[in-house]
């Protein structure tokens, strides 16, 4: 019991929990991207994928990179790209809703309507 407790207490100084959590976020995001039936739901799952990539970059940057500023700059760029992606995707969603009256991905099977 004692060594287990010690290992739990040292968990935040190890790279493994961060990497496992990033893998979990990636898997959950992929699952949602496949299973969601609306465009906004798929967009939210995509944000989870971005979060997984950012967390992975930060974990590797903190534990294995010699210069800790590089990973932070990279994650800043990822955040900027995610913000641009959300702006574009939501405007597309609203345009689709105006044209089709629905954003369920099952009903968007025609190019023009």
Partner 1 sequence: MSSSVLLPLAEVTPLPGSTYIIPALFLLFVATTVAGALVAVASQRIIRSVCGLALCCLGIAGLYYFLNSPFLALMELLIYVGAVCVTIIFAVMLAEPEEPAPTAKRGFAWLAVGATAVVTGAIFWSLARLGVCGEWPALAVNQSSGSVETIGVQLLTTYSFAFEAISLVLFVAILGAIAIARTGRHNA
- Of 21-80, binders to partner 1 (CB under 8 A) are 21-32, 34-41, 43-45, 47-48, 51, 54-55, 58-59, 61-70, 72-73, 75-77, 79-80
CB of residue 1 vs partner 1: minimum separation in angstroms? 15
Task: Return the percent helix, strand and coil in the chain, to nearest 5.
Answer: 80, 0, 20
Considering only 3, 4, 53, 91, the residue that binds partner 1 (CB under 8 A) is 91
Residue 48 and residue 32 in contact, taking contact as beta carbons nearer than 8 Å: yes
CB of residue 100 vs partner 1: minimum separation in angstroms? 10
CB of residue 25 vs partner 1: minimum separation in angstroms? 6
Give one word for 101, left, alpha or beta, with left for phi > 0 and alpha for psi -120 to 50.
Answer: left
Residue 59: exposed, middle, or buried by beta-carbon count in 10 A (0-12, 13-18, 19+)? buried
Q: Does residue 108 interact with partner 1 by CB under 8 A?
A: no
């Amino acid at each position: 019991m004692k060594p287990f407790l010690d290992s739990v207490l040292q968990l935040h100084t190890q790279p493994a929990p961060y990497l496992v959590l990033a893998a979990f976020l990636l898997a959950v995001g992929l699952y949602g991207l496949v299973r969601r039936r609306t465009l906004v739901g798929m967009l939210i799952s995509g944000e989870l994928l971005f979060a997984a990539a950012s967390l992975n970059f930060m974990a590797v940057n903190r534990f294995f990179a010699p210069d800790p500023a590089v990973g932070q700059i990279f994650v800043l760029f990822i955040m900027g790209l995610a913000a641009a992606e959300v702006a574009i995707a939501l405007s597309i969603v609203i345009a689709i809703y105006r044209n089709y009256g629905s954003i369920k991905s099952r009903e968007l099977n025609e190019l023009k309507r």
